[in-house]
Chain A
């Protein structure tokens, strides 16, 4: 279990408990946190679960698999701290993770 904080574009903060093994994307969907569309359902095929990860967390996350960076090319306003939240699998180590959801996904 990890506490994940999602900052949405309307300056609201949502902190929720997400079970280990789920993805940061699923944590948002299950808790009705707006702004993560996840059109393809977690298949790394759409870039609509794009988030910005708080800088201090960047190096603590699993490295990007082949294809994630390619998909991020398609994301809305990608930055250096961009990740696809469907690729971030929750574990105890991610307790306290904070992500920012972009103003839109497409």
Chain B
């Protein structure tokens, strides 16, 4: 059991800055995220794309912003729980008991949901038949590549994941790479490599084809792919891999009794508390009149939510407003030596 003052759900910029604000006012927190790294949409959707509207930062990338935020909260030694999705929350007296997908448990005074547009999940094939093979012969990510040794694999997609795995697996497996158009979104060097491997017969590339059907009894035996012009090909294979990026799903948050409207959680604008006492929501996931889905708005919301958490974490103390420029307590928490 991890006991702390506040649990932040979501390690995007809003969640990270809220952790900073909690640290400044002397509260401890831990952060959970479904991805394998901090940064949220900034890292997953646009790590290299520039952002121009962070106050006092004329230009930075999603990755730079994330690294700076991580740097800023370093003094607080915050514990991260990555690759974990929060599944269950339960109120016990004045505390919240929270459980994650991997069985990590938390005992906290308050919860801050900074979950963006939901947790990132792999985008799946449109075919219903694919579901029954998922996890045994159809995958959306690779945990153990030895499974594919000497087998025939059909990989779908045109981004870096599809290209990288096609190249990598072509060393030990028979690889078919199927993509819906001639162009690829992956980096040029990988595209060139795939084309070379195709010319050398070390990989079979099918462009302008999409999945049409999968057949098999317990495991996949073959896939049918359909060309833009309508022609259908059947390919025998042992495994199918789909790499179509990630989609955001609200997931278990829907079942917690929060006021949810159009995939967002309603909050008040005084401290960004939801309809449930002790649960706050900030960033893209919250809604209120005038809400702007900007990172800078998430920072403001996080600052106020952190202060809203105080009365739950330290009910007998009074929070005094202070500036970091002059507050000895805040500077001590930041580890500043004079």
Q: B292's closest neighbor in chain A, by CB?
A: A41
B245: Cβ under 8 A from any A Cβ: yes
The interface residues of chain A lying within 8 Å CB-to-CB of B147 are none
A80: Cβ under 8 A from any B Cβ: yes
Contacting A at CB under 8 A, from B167-217, are: 179-181, 183, 185, 210
The interface residues of chain A lying within 8 Å CB-to-CB of B210 are 77-78
B-facing mask of A65-102, CB < 8 A → 1, else 0?
A: 00001100110111010000000000000000000000
Contact A70–B248 (Cβ < 8 Å) = no
Contacting A at CB under 8 A, from B26-62, are: 41, 45-46
A-facing mask of B284-315, CB < 8 A → 1, else 0?
A: 10000000010000000000000000000000
Contact A40–B41 (Cβ < 8 Å) = yes
Contact A73–B180 (Cβ < 8 Å) = yes
Cβ contact of B247, chosen from A41, A46, A70, A78, cutoff 8 A: A46
Contact B117–A39 (Cβ < 8 Å) = yes
* Contact A69:B181 (CB < 8 A) given known A39-B117, A43-B46: yes
The interface residues of chain A lying within 8 Å CB-to-CB of B148 are none
Please, how many residues of chain B have a CB less than 8 angstroms from a CB on the other chain? 26
Q: B124's closest neighbor in chain A, by CB?
A: A106
Contact A73–B126 (Cβ < 8 Å) = no
* Contact A106:B41 (CB < 8 A) given known A69-B181, A70-B159, A73-B179: no
Please, how many residues of chain A have a CB less than 8 angstroms from a CB on the other chain? 19
* Contact A74:B179 (CB < 8 A) given known A40-B45, A43-B46, A45-B41: no
Dominant secondary structure at the A interface: loop
B115: Cβ under 8 A from any A Cβ: no
Q: B208's closest neighbor in chain A, by CB?
A: A80
Contact A106–B247 (Cβ < 8 Å) = yes
B76: Cβ under 8 A from any A Cβ: no
Contact A73–B46 (Cβ < 8 Å) = no
The interface residues of chain A lying within 8 Å CB-to-CB of B15 are none
The interface residues of chain B lying within 8 Å CB-to-CB of A45 are 41, 45-46
The interface residues of chain A lying within 8 Å CB-to-CB of B245 are 47, 73-74
Interface residues of B (CB under 8 A from A): 41, 45-46, 117-118, 123-124, 126, 157-159, 179-181, 183, 185, 210, 228, 244-245, 247-249, 263, 284, 293
Given contact pairs A46-B248, A73-B159, enumerate 10 new A-B contacts (beta carbons under 8 Å): A40-B117, A45-B41, A70-B183, A73-B157, A73-B185, A74-B159, A74-B244, A77-B126, A78-B180, A105-B247
